[in-house]
């Protein structure tokens, strides 16, 4: 009896550590992808002529780039990226908004799903999935 209780507690802790590690791995991807996508878009502004692949960058180009960054263990179908070029009147001309010295902002979201075992455990059923989000903002260089 004691072995069964101990084994059950050990397995719950073990699976909890595994799931927490998967969640940290996924958040690390989301955070890094937001930074990389912002850097990628910042060198592909309205005056970009010499770079291949999305020059100048559009929102759909950034989304495609972010999805291409997804490593194994991260479902690229659950990744979304929203790119905006917010107006900064102090150093950015009004048109176009993706001109040099303007800002580019990328928000990457990922819908993280726990393993299906958690759907069968009553006290973990509310944690079946959650959305991770990371935002990065950078000034366009060219």
The torsion angles phi and psi of 73, rounded to 5 degrees, stand at 95, -10
**Percent of the chain residues past pLDDT 70, beyond the cut:** 84
Question: Is residue 83 within 8 Å of residue 62, measured between CB atoms?
Answer: yes
The CA-based angle 56-57-58, given to 5 degrees, is 120
Q: Residues 115-134: what's their mean pLDDT?
A: 69
pLDDT given at position 95? 67
pLDDT given at position 97? 78
Which alpha helices (H) appear in 43-133, and where do they start and end?
A: 59-68
64-102 burial, b at 16+ Cβ within 10 Å, e below that, comes to ebbbebbeeebeeebbebebebeeeeeebeeeebbbbeb
pLDDT (tens digit, 9 = 90+) per residue, 45-100? Answer: 888 777 766 688 888 999 999 999 999 889 999 999 999 988 766 777 666 678 88
Q: How much is the pTM?
A: 0.82
Confidence of residue 33 (pLDDT cuts 50, 70, 90): very high
List Cα–Cα distances, 36 to 113, 116, 126, in angstroms. 24, 31, 32
Confidence of residue 35 (pLDDT cuts 50, 70, 90): very high
């Amino acid at each position: 009896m004691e072995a069964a209780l101990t084994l059950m507690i050990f397995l719950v802790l073990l699976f909890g550590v595994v799931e927490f590690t998967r969640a940290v791995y996924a958040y690390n991807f989301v955070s890094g992808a937001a930074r990389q996508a912002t850097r990628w878009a910042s060198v592909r502004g309205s005056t970009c002529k010499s770079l291949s692949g999305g020059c100048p960058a559009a929102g759909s180009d950034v989304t495609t780039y972010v999805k291409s960054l997804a490593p194994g263990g991260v479902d690229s179908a659950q990744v979304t990226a929203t790119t905006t070029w917010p107006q900064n009147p102090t150093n950015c001309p009004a048109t176009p908004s993706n001109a040099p010295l303007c800002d580019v902002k990328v928000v990457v979201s990922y819908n993280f799903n726990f393993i299906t075992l958690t759907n069968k455990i009553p006290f973990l059923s509310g944690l079946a999935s959650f959305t991770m989000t990371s935002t990065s903002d950078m000034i366009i260089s060219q």
